Structure 1
Amino acid sequence: MLKQFALKKTWQLNFLFLNMLASPCLIAQGLPELPSIIQPTPAVAELGKYGTYPVSMNTGIPNISFPLFEVNVAEISLPFSLSYHAGGIKVNQEATEVGLGWSISGNMIIHRNVLGTPDEMPEGNFNMAVMDFDEFYAKVSQGGYSEIEENYYDLKASADGAGRDTRPDMFNYNLPGKSGQFMYASDRTYMTFPYEPIKILRNTMGSNYAFSIIDEKGIEYRFRDINKILIDDSPQPRNNYITDWYVTEIVSRTKKDTVYFEYETCGYVKEQKSYYQMMESNASGLEEESYSIVGQEEMRLKRISYRLGEVIFNYNTQRLDRTQSSAKSLDNIRVYDLNDKLVKGFDFSYDYFTANFGLSGYPDSDTKRLKLLSFSETSAAGSDMYKKYEFDYESNISIPRKGEFSQDLWGYFNGKLNFSLIPSKSVQGNDFYLSDLYGTTYCCQNPTTAEQNTTYNIGSANRAVDTSKVRMCILKKITYPTKGYTTFKFESNCYTSELVGTPTVVYGAGLRIANIKNYDFDGALESFEEYKYGVSENGLGEKLFNEDLLFKDYDDYTQEFWEGEMPYTGGCTGRASSWHRKYMGLEVYSALNYNGGNLIYPEVNHYQGTDLSNLSKTKYEYNLVSESILDAPAVYEPKRYLNSGNYANLCHNWTDSQLVKKTSYSKSGGVYTPIYLEEFIYNEIYSKTDYGLLFKELQKYIEATCIRTPGSGGSPYYFIANEFLYKSRAYRMTEKKETSYLPTTSEALVQTTTMSYDNTDHMQMTVSTTTSSDGKTLVNKMYYPDDITSASYLLGGTLTTLQNNAINRLNSDGDIHNVVVPIQREVYQDDNSNGAGDASELISLQRTNFKDWGGSVVLPEEISTLKGVYNSSSNPLQSRIYYHDYDDKGNPIEVSTASGIHIYYIWGYNNQYPVAKIENFTSAQASNVQSLINAVVSASDSDDSQADEDLLRTALSNLRDSSYLSGAMLSTYTYDPLVGMTSMTDPKGYTTYYLYDAFNRLQFVKDDSGKVLSENEYHYKGQ
């Protein structure tokens, strides 16, 4: 009898649920096999080691997450995890419903950043293309009195975000395994950043302007529930607009399955303050405060439902760190099968981080932050058994209240007793000379000579980074159900700054991981990982931002006004102007980020092992492909438009950091020697550009009682604009070189693979060429629906009209949009070394022919192959596997090989699992036993207990005893839905049983007589 124990090692135990219907196998040589319909017999729950946290090497941010559950139905697969962002906790960061720094990943959302006028407004980008530079220039050109007046107020409205739009809004989307941005372009199509072969649709009916995204596999994500935001600025309120769209339905490719998402609203109101210091003509430059009240209709996920079950999120406990009665923490998650039987559950336990720095007397909503203490996976049986994960955080650093001014420029705690957010600096008066704003000598009243010779003190805050404070509230330890644990050590990011001219090493932009240690339950070190950053481990990263713009914390403009109302005539005696510089105190200097970080490290050395004196090493080297709207030709310098307040919103920088080299080393005698090298080359394979308008009201006009409009003779310099480019791009790996260094010689084995991507409609690799050390080269060619331009396009024979029509439904213009499904694969031996894969060099070919089965069901009908060089007469393509029928969920009912027997499947448990496999049996024969089949399906759908399962076995036994199956071989299966197989009966009638413990892990395997064949024991310390 087999027994397995969880020993001192700290293991993570997960069940793997297999996709029941895999895509047809693509085999370079040999005959294709029948698809694997029946899942393998249950094995021990996969023993994956606790303490494994992959790190994004080029940003230094570890991926700390715990898989919770998955929603799997048809081709839809939705994993949900409890995730922690370890880049640092900011002073004004609000905790989510699962605690500070934590989130439930898997939620799908579209978030909008409104730029200019909201796109859905009458003059917004959805209704008319954004203003271009020619249109702007025409409006600022001189004209008659009425024309200047009309154009002035038109441009004024655009500057205020209420008139003609100047920039498309930017939408951020998040799908399973994919995220990015999109905007509505001037050609009235959606551009994605980076480019992805997805289809975006917008419903213009109703008031929520719902979106749908269809991914490259044909799965549709519908976003209909919304968040609205209302900003009540002091003193002028703005209209509300939609900021977020939440996924409400996910529809399978066949349109036969839908996953539904339900939310509940929890309103959120917050006062946001901003601080500024105004320097202007004849002004003292006192610091001032403004504020806005932000009302946002927050949504939280309440329920996920689909035909196989549901997931419930329960929020019951009132939060102390929020003022609204609807603000509650997530108490638990419950996963149920289709019969409302509990499959698994998760309970969450909380406390609060409480402020202990600065002044007292503030309410809990300012001084407390929700803290996740632990979460537990509860047993499906509802017993007291549970698997508990506990969290410890940095506790030796003082904690400020939310809203405290003790922040560095990135928003992290720095322990300084500041009384504002405006950084302290001294500015010479001649720096306020503003003529260069216009690019001409025309300006306003510039500083006087006395003012130019005066040194002004701006701000009072110390916004420097304190590397000892930035770790405030950060996670530092995780304890597992085994009582083994992992510790994390974080350190500040750093980079080279050229802001003051001389390159200077500065700290900032949050945290990076320094080391990770794993211990067993006795406190013995099991493994150690250490990370050293920068070229030659100098610790320095590359900036993703323009320092001159990010740290430009002021905005320059002028004002023009009429003065001196003339008696009797009502006119004005003259016009005057003044200069203004507004210094801003911002909570966060919002730089652009990549994968959660503001820096990219070009080199990272990763050391790991169990012996601290003999750690293995892997070096990762990255490039940085960066492009910004600032790269576009400029009429005016971008610095006239951009500053700390708008830089991140306006300066979209699409950045790709690509791994170009990975070297593995062994260590001997204190010396590291390379043993394996991987080198990668990337190329841009897609590019599309569009435009927007950087737009600014440079000279503000102040209405007077004697005249209220600019009128004739007004300045043409009220507004400036510059057209800039948006660029949608896609990069793909085009070469991979692998070098294995032989340990006993100086020789090396080298294998090189080149890749081509010839169709951006699907972005899949279409040709790969692999050359090994012996000089032999194999060429692989792949074809997808969009590659097939006619029925006769493919090597191997012409498609039938029905086959070609089915493929057309799969391509990017078709209604199915399954653009990544492979149609044909060809393998060549490149004997003439030209890399082309000539027809005379063909060694194998495999084609999948699709059929329109009705509705949205377009699935394989047959798989054909050939070996050797194709010849329509002597070596034609031959059919090998046939799919004869599918059920209404897209599950195969009958399959066969060209020369073999037919196999018939019966699907039960609400079409989730195959409950019977009948070999040497066809759909035509099934009509003779349809009543018995119906009884099997009905019994499986009702299987909710051991008694129900016995009834199902009886129905399966009745089917087995039918005389119509006398020449067939029947295998039958029973299941606990969302858990696994509970029994398998082979054609001889021998049954094997699979029993699970309270956590739905395989515990026993028994034979037909109840004898234990194998046993799995799972021990945790304290159990």
Structure 2
Amino acid sequence: MKKVYLLIISLLTFVIDVSGQSTTYDPRMDLPKVTPPSPNAATLGKYGDIPVGLYSGIPNVSIPLYDVKLGNFSLPIGISYHSQGLKVEEKSGNIGLSWALNAGGVVTRTVKGLPDENGMGYWGHSTWTNQYISSALNISESFCNGTYDAQPDIFYFNFGEYSGKFVIDATTGHIAHIIPDQPSIKVKEIDSLNSFQITDDKGIKYIFDVKETTTDDNAPPTILSYTSAWYLSKIVTPAGNITFTYASDQTYYYQYNESDHLNNSSSTDASKFNPGLKVSNNYITVDSRILTAITTPNEAIQFYTVADRKDMPAAKRINEFVVKDYNGVVKKKIVFNQSYFGNSNTSSPEDCRLKLDQAIEFSADSTLSKTYTFGYNSPASVPSVTSLSQDYWGYFNGKTNTSLLPYMDPRIYGSYVANQATVYGNRDPDISYAQVGCLSQITYPTGGTTQFTYEGNDYSSVNGTPVNEQLQTQKQAQATATKTSTVNIPSVTQTFTINSAQTILITTQGSYSGAPPVDNGPSVYINLVNSDGSRTNILTRNMINSTLSSTQQLSVGNYEIIASVDGATQTATGTVQYYSADGYIHTKSAGGIRIKQVLSTDPVTTHTLLKQYSYKSATDATLSSGALVSAINLVSSKISNTWGYQWTVRSAGTSNYLGTTQGCFIGYGAVTEKDGNLDQGKKVSYFTTAADYANTYGTDSLIINQNEVTASNNSSYINKYLNDYDAYRGFLTKEQFYNSSNQLIKEIDIQYNLTAALTPTSTNYFAMNSKAGLFIDMCHVGCTQCYCISPELCSYCNTYSYELLYVFDSQIICPWIYKTQTSETQYDQNGLNPLTTITNYYYENPLHGQVTRTELTNSRGGIVKTINKYAQDKSLISNLSTTASLAVDSMVRKNMVSTVLESEQYTGGTFNSRLRTNYRIWDANGIIVSPENIQFQTQLSTGLENRVQFTNYDNIGNLLEDAKAGGPTTAYQWGYKGQYPVAKVTNALASDIFYDSFEEGDGTSALNISKTGHYSYSGGTAYSKNISGLVYTGNYVLSYWLKPTNGTWTFVSNIVAVPGSTYTIGPIAGQIDDVRFYPSNAQMTTYTYDPLVGVTSSTDAKNEITYYEYDSFQRLINIKDKNGNIIKHMDYHYQGQ
């Protein structure tokens, strides 16, 4: 689901929480938990619960491997698997086929025509209108043949939890639209596509400036190379930057196409000028980038690559990554074991593909490991990427094709055209082959497994039109008459019935021996048998030693075919091939796969969890709920404007715009999920699809030259550019829950605003040859612009008229879609006594697109209303201080637009409470914008009252001081490069505390010669520390641990007087550790850590130390008291080990 809906859900959660609270307390008024929680035993992990993307039918396989953390920001690293079936021409990524390493992000683009920045591209011609193009025929021809381009490229972004697409305005050079509109994030193009900057709704900036270049050897020279991707290089957070480093890599992918022209007439000239069969084997090279490192101030993740790929010799594979802390100490290692699909012993790169077999997590010392093992369907049977065993969508279908051109049915195209198409391929989908090479099983570190069973896709509508094809059974009627010296059957009649108008195929054969017949010879007749018994002749064919095939259009009726011979030694045979209409087909098969069931097994108990999925229509179980976005069209028509000859053109690839929905060809409108083990009921989910929001065609304007004044109806042209409505599809609209008795016990209805748009849609233009369709054959005055088949014919170009041209405009659909209502109805176990709760959502400021108001109506009619205000609602927030006002302005500039600044709650129209968080700019550079206080107002109070105060932050945004109203101030000290809190002191200011555990480079002892942590101070000079800026004037506590030579650690604590603002600790002779300094009326707790692991010790206000030990997997194993005695021990074993 889109980002905005995740925010809605989180806000809804808040509303529900608040509704249950009293009007005098809100949990958000508690002091934040700055100190680390006490370490607890690590979990062994939950395996086997694989969610399924119900709309697409594709399982969401994701394995988290590590989290990069910097301040409050977290960047997950993991691998994910996504496959819709085996695409024959698909190459493997850098860890394995259909697997992706999720670590960072990328902006990619799909070039429409020419790259936008090309001199002849969209940026140079976007403002041309159809009227202008109409007035300049040579300009329109340039659009037809691809010299000019007025279509914007589509850019896609994917990073973290954000994804979407956008286009760039040619006039301003700025982002014109994000699709679908996401008001809370900002995308900025920098320096003519040199880089991109995307800012999320928390103000975090993502910089994309590491470029990838694609080279198309078959493209015109003007677009030979272009930037096709921009990789994430930096994430800018208040706590510091995360940087990404890449190395050069070279990948390629393969594209095959073929087409031929079939003459529509027997003209000799038509055959002479026929372009014939054209075959394209295209390798597109990508100068790509491969991730080598992620670096933060606190850690570094190094990715290691190997340049030994058999399937792509110039490319690298990632075989492991290693996590190190800022001291270079290894904390974790992930290894990818890989082999190959197909023929792994081949010397041909096209015959194999990289396969991920295992992902193994090793402990820091490599003594422990966790292994994920992946199994696949028939991995050795994966074909070559050059195989022609492809269905219409490009998925493997196992057919032994020698061509991808379609079969030409003579009943549709006529026998003359069909007889030329002697070579063709079987492009029907076949699930048994489409699932070859697809993930079939995951074996987890526990020994448990998840198994995947797939089935083929199907659909009952195409771009909004229901499938309604006649179910036809092929039949044959044949009559043979023979007269020889021994056989005398001079006439044979065979009857047949046509129950739907159609074109039939007629094949006739006649033969004789001896002298040519003096009579009619062998003959075949086809007659319509009228209701009164009379006959109407449809066809008469007299034959002399010949075989003829033809087609004939027949209407509904009863017919007879008669074979007749006159004279001796003659034979006549007539055969009619026709179809009998036996009903209608409303569901058809499509390419690719979907999940049928997921079976998870516990290795010890052998208990299984079976999830089964059905994609049938909720209203008609005989129908699929699948909606195909676009039809496949492999046949088109072409007319040579030079001579007027007509051809039927076959192509291996679809000639129309093949739309997708969320990256798939099909989306499902209703999906039923069942628990196959215990029959505990089912859940039915409903989604919007292409059946609800079909793509539409752009409008057009006819360009008419001086010689042509009419045109046929252009609604049949196959290459009209589509207005893509995919932004509206895939939204969950309803969930129904049934018990084991099939009684409806709960229903959730969700409504959306599917019409709102923040900005008007964009329009782009392009021209096409109305007679040629996709296959342009422009030819006009001047041989330099003539595309005739033979150069010597160019002299004739001047004598022939131009083709009709159309200029099409299409719209870039950019809706702002948001949820407006959720209605939840609960029933009893008999499906009776409904109780309904309705929540309405309002979005009254499109600048940020957040929920500004919710109204929850319970089953008794009671209404709870919550009003939320954000930075861009500043004018609605009363009595802001100057400091808070400036901070709100800064939040808007930084795009911190999803933070709720003020929340009001009403019950039945009566005010309950108001909660406000006031922010402040805490540093001179304006980087740290964080809360200054939290205020609260109830029905009983006259205004907002301070409840929590935040009085200080450090330069990376760590909280240094906070206090509840009327309570003592709590101060915090941060260490390990600001990564962890190392001291918490109650009843003190941050300026009045000091703690040093000698863990951050100032420790001089040998490793683990310390009281806490790993290091202590044992320098040749006495330890001293000057502390300035003290506010509290009175007595302080100075404590530390002292270890004399060959002695034991002894605790030392003194009360020292500090009459001024400075104090110098020491000099202290000897080896010391854990120096603590704080006001005598305060209480201090301190901590040490293993970076990236956890807290290793905590010392409370009584100076009692608790120690924590971890295994090499960073799992807690021992908790020890101050004397080193184990008070709690943890062992980690999977059941049965």
What residue is the counterpart of 1:908 in the other structure? Answer: 975
Cα shift at 1:499: 7.7
Matches within 5 A, 1:997-1008: 997-1008=1111-1122
Cα shift at 1:766: 0.6
Asked if structure 1 preserves the Cα contact closer than 8 Å seen for 2:123 and 2:171, the reply is no
Name the SS for the 1:38 alignment partner: coil
Say whether residues 1:175 and 2:246 are aligned partners: no
Asked if structure 2 preserves the Cα contact closer than 8 Å seen for 1:391 and 1:475, the reply is yes
What residue is the counterpart of 1:748 in the other structure? Answer: 834
Q: 1:619 and 1:277 mapped to 2: Cα distance?
A: 47
Q: 1:534 aligns with which of 597, 603, 616?
A: 616
Say whether residues 1:350 and 2:338 are aligned partners: yes
Q: Which amino acid aligns with 2:165?
A: Q
TM-score by length of 1: 0.82
What residue is the counterpart of 2:727 in the other structure? Answer: 654
Cα shift at 1:919: 0.9
Q: 1:940 and 1:809 mapped to 2: Cα distance?
A: 41
What residue is the counterpart of 2:353 in the other structure? Answer: 369
Asked if structure 1 preserves the Cα contact closer than 8 Å seen for 2:39 and 2:1095, the reply is yes
Say whether residues 1:193 and 2:179 are aligned partners: yes
Name the SS for the 1:654 alignment partner: helix
Asked if structure 1 preserves the Cα contact closer than 8 Å seen for 2:199 and 2:895, the reply is yes
Asked if structure 1 preserves the Cα contact closer than 8 Å seen for 2:406 and 2:650, the reply is no
Cα shift at 1:640: 6.2
Q: 1:596 and 1:293 mapped to 2: Cα distance?
A: 23
Cα shift at 1:409: 0.9
Distance of aligned partners of 1:586 and 1:848 in 2 relative to their CA distance in 1, 3 Å threshold = same
Say whether residues 1:828 and 2:814 are aligned partners: no
Higher alpha-carbon deviation: 955-964 or 841-850: 955-964
Q: Which amino acid aligns with 2:213?
A: K
Q: 1:552 aligns with which of 633, 646, 657?
A: 633
Q: 2:441 aligns with which of 477, 497, 505?
A: 477
Distance of aligned partners of 1:729 and 1:46 in 2 relative to their CA distance in 1, 3 Å threshold = farther
What residue is the counterpart of 1:674 in the other structure? Answer: 744
Q: 1:844 aligns with which of 895, 899, 913?
A: 913
Q: 2:654 and 2:1055 mapped to 1: Cα distance?
A: 76
Asked if structure 1 preserves the Cα contact closer than 8 Å seen for 2:165 and 2:178, the reply is yes
Say whether residues 1:617 and 2:682 are aligned partners: yes
Q: 2:312 and 2:245 mapped to 1: Cα distance?
A: 23
Asked if structure 1 preserves the Cα contact closer than 8 Å seen for 2:960 and 2:971, the reply is yes
Name the SS for the 2:761 alignment partner: strand
Distance of aligned partners of 1:620 and 1:428 in 2 relative to their CA distance in 1, 3 Å threshold = closer
Q: 1:953 and 1:1017 mapped to 2: Cα distance?
A: 34
What residue is the counterpart of 2:320 in the other structure? Answer: 332
What residue is the counterpart of 2:819 in the other structure? Answer: 733
Asked if structure 2 preserves the Cα contact closer than 8 Å seen for 1:766 and 1:783, the reply is yes
Say whether residues 1:723 and 2:809 are aligned partners: yes
CA deviations over 1:231-254 (Å, ceiling 9, x no partner):
1118978421111111111111x3
What residue is the counterpart of 1:409 in the other structure? Answer: 392
Q: Which amino acid aligns with 2:109?
A: R
Q: 2:332 and 2:623 mapped to 1: Cα distance?
A: 44
Distance of aligned partners of 1:265 and 1:743 in 2 relative to their CA distance in 1, 3 Å threshold = same
Q: 2:106 aligns with which of 98, 106, 109?
A: 109
Cα shift at 1:333: 1.1
Q: 2:655 and 2:22 mapped to 1: Cα distance?
A: 55
Cα shift at 1:297: 0.4
Matches within 5 A, 1:88-103: 88-103=85-100
Q: 1:1004 and 1:638 mapped to 2: Cα distance?
A: 78
Matches within 5 A, 1:205-244: 209-233=194-218, 238-244=223-229
Q: 1:890 aligns with which of 950, 957, 967?
A: 957
Q: 1:288 and 1:740 mapped to 2: Cα distance?
A: 63
Distance of aligned partners of 1:68 and 1:341 in 2 relative to their CA distance in 1, 3 Å threshold = same
Cα shift at 1:923: 3.5
Say whether residues 1:1019 and 2:1130 are aligned partners: no
Bigger relative CO (Cα 8 Å, ≥ 6 apart) = 1
Name the SS for the 2:134 alignment partner: helix
What residue is the counterpart of 1:245 in the other structure? Answer: 230
Cα shift at 1:843: 0.7
CA deviations over 1:556-580 (Å, ceiling 9, x no partner):
444444xxxxxxxxxxxxxx44444
Name the SS for the 1:468 alignment partner: helix
CA deviations over 1:933-964 (Å, ceiling 9, x no partner):
69686659999867582436999953986644
Q: 2:53 aligns with which of 52, 56, 71?
A: 56
Q: 1:777 aligns with which of 850, 863, 877?
A: 863
Q: 1:934 and 1:1000 mapped to 2: Cα distance?
A: 21
Cα shift at 1:228: 0.9
RMSD, matched Cα: 3.4
Structure 1 unaligned runs (5+)? 1-22, 141-151, 432-449, 562-575, 832-840
Q: 1:235 and 1:893 mapped to 2: Cα distance?
A: 62
Q: Which amino acid aligns with 1:180?
A: G
Bigger Rg, which one: 2
Q: Which amino acid aligns with 1:371?
A: K
Q: 2:346 and 2:806 mapped to 1: Cα distance?
A: 45
TM-score by length of 2: 0.74
What residue is the counterpart of 1:312 in the other structure? Answer: 302
Q: 1:860 aligns with which of 908, 911, 931?
A: 931
Higher alpha-carbon deviation: 947-956 or 884-893: 947-956
Say whether residues 1:204 and 2:191 are aligned partners: yes
Distance of aligned partners of 1:312 and 1:771 in 2 relative to their CA distance in 1, 3 Å threshold = same
Distance of aligned partners of 1:107 and 1:997 in 2 relative to their CA distance in 1, 3 Å threshold = same
Cα shift at 1:429: 9.4
CA deviations over 1:373-397 (Å, ceiling 9, x no partner):
11211011232x2111111111288
> Quick one: percent identity of the two aligned structures?
27
Q: Which amino acid aligns with 2:675?
A: Q
Say whether residues 1:951 and 2:1023 are aligned partners: no
Asked if structure 2 preserves the Cα contact closer than 8 Å seen for 1:87 and 1:596, the reply is no
Q: 1:944 and 1:244 mapped to 2: Cα distance?
A: 47
Distance of aligned partners of 1:936 and 1:496 in 2 relative to their CA distance in 1, 3 Å threshold = closer
Matches within 5 A, 1:390-469: 390-395=373-378, 398-426=381-409, 456-457=420-421, 459-469=423-433
Name the SS for the 1:425 alignment partner: coil
Q: 1:984 and 1:924 mapped to 2: Cα distance?
A: 22
Cα shift at 1:524: 2.0
Q: 1:214 and 1:240 mapped to 2: Cα distance?
A: 29
Q: 1:641 and 1:962 mapped to 2: Cα distance?
A: 92
Higher alpha-carbon deviation: 492-501 or 29-38: 492-501
Asked if structure 1 preserves the Cα contact closer than 8 Å seen for 2:454 and 2:597, the reply is yes
Say whether residues 1:387 and 2:458 are aligned partners: no
Asked if structure 2 preserves the Cα contact closer than 8 Å seen for 1:917 and 1:971, the reply is yes
Q: 2:37 aligns with which of 36, 40, 60?
A: 40
Cα shift at 1:48: 3.9
Distance of aligned partners of 1:362 and 1:341 in 2 relative to their CA distance in 1, 3 Å threshold = closer
What residue is the counterpart of 1:683 in the other structure? Answer: 753
Q: 1:601 and 1:484 mapped to 2: Cα distance?
A: 31
Distance of aligned partners of 1:761 and 1:461 in 2 relative to their CA distance in 1, 3 Å threshold = same
What residue is the counterpart of 2:606 in the other structure? Answer: 524
Say whether residues 1:990 and 2:1104 are aligned partners: yes
Q: 1:557 and 1:958 mapped to 2: Cα distance?
A: 91
Q: 1:353 and 1:935 mapped to 2: Cα distance?
A: 53
Q: Which amino acid aligns with 2:357?
A: L
Q: 1:296 aligns with which of 266, 286, 302?
A: 286
Say whether residues 1:509 and 2:591 are aligned partners: yes
Q: 2:735 and 2:168 mapped to 1: Cα distance?
A: 38
Q: 1:647 and 1:321 mapped to 2: Cα distance?
A: 36
Name the SS for the 2:883 alignment partner: helix
Structure 2 unaligned runs (5+)? 1-13, 264-268, 462-466, 471-583, 703-712, 784-790, 1024-1037, 1042-1052, 1057-1077
